[in-house]
Each structure stands twice: as C-alpha cells, then as structure tokens.
C-alpha cells in the first residue's frame, strides 16, 4: 500500500466478541485467523478476543483474578481506563450502537481516567505512560488512593 502509514500512535485495534458457547482456544483462534484475513493490509495490528474467555487467562497475565464476563458490555466496563470503556457495534438493522458507560466527554477532552474495577494500577499506569509519550496533549489522571 504505497503512501499509507500506520496511524499516529495507534498500536492496535481491538475487535471483541462474546461467545460463551465454546470457550476453547481452538474456537477463538479460528475467529482470530478469519479476522487476520479480513484485516490483512491494515497499517496496524487488529487484536481479536472472545470476552467470554478473559477469565481463563487474565490472572496469569495481570496477577489478579477476573470473574467471567456475561457480555461484551460487562467486559468493556472493566477496561483499565474509563476513557477506553467504549464499544461500537453494527446492529442487524444496519445502524450503529455506541456503548460508553462513562460517557464520551473524556475522549473528546483528551482525559485519561483510571478505572479501578479490575485492572491493577500497574496496567493503567503503563498504558497511560505510553499514551502520554505518544500524545503529550493528554491529561492523565492519577490512580485513586
């Protein structure tokens, strides 16, 4: 793709879905592989995850247990920064549904706010530091005491 570059500061795009009917790695991996074909050629990585499986690996990766999510919305509510608690879904009628449990004002005002529901402090601080390095105009709020 001549002339295209990776969007400034975007490490990856997250695509997530919820399938509690099959929690096997094989099922998720099949979706990931299908997505890799669809998204091949994008200038950034697309990370695809089944949010119904998060509880199976979260503690090993982040050091704290994660109860099973009951929906993609429940998973979104646990993201490390409230600013990231945002999902967009294409509905069967062709319309778009935006889910933002903390609203959109922080997104538009470039405020990164911690969400201490699940993610450890270190996860938030690591992500926020990377974002601040990439976009110095961000206001990064500290983890609550």
Burial of 141 (0-12, 13-18, 19+ CB in 10 A): middle
Residue 35's Cβ-count burial label (10 Å; 0-12, 13-18, 19+) is: middle
pLDDT per residue as tens digits for the range 18-62: 999 999 999 999 999 999 999 998 888 899 999 999 999 999 999
pLDDT score at 2: 41
pTM of the model: 0.84
* Pairwise CA distance, residues 56 & 77, whole Å: 18
What pLDDT score was predicted for residue 10?
76
pLDDT digit string (tens) for 82-112? 999 999 999 999 999 999 999 999 999 999 9
SS3 assignment, position 47? strand
As a whole number of angstroms, the distance between CA 98 and CA 54 comes to: 22
Q: What is the pLDDT of residue 3?
A: 47
């Amino acid at each position: 793709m001549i002339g295209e570059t990776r969007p400034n500061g975007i490490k990856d795009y997250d695509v997530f879905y919820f399938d509690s009917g099959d929690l096997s790695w094989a099922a998720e991996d099949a979706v990931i592989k299908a997505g890799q074909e669809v998204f091949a050629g994008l200038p950034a990585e697309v990370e695809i995850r089944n949010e119904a499986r998060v509880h199976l690996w979260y503690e090993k990766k982040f050091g704290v247990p994660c109860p099973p999510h009951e929906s993609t919305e429940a998973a979104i509510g646990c993201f490390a920064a409230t600013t990231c608690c945002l999902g967009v879904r294409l509905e069967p009628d062709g319309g778009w549904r935006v889910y933002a449990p903390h609203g959109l004002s922080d997104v538009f005002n470039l405020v990164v706010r911690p969400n201490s529901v699940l993610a450890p402090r270190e996860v938030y601080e690591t992500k926020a530091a990377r974002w601040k390095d990439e976009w110095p105009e961000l206001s990064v709020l500290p983890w609550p005491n």
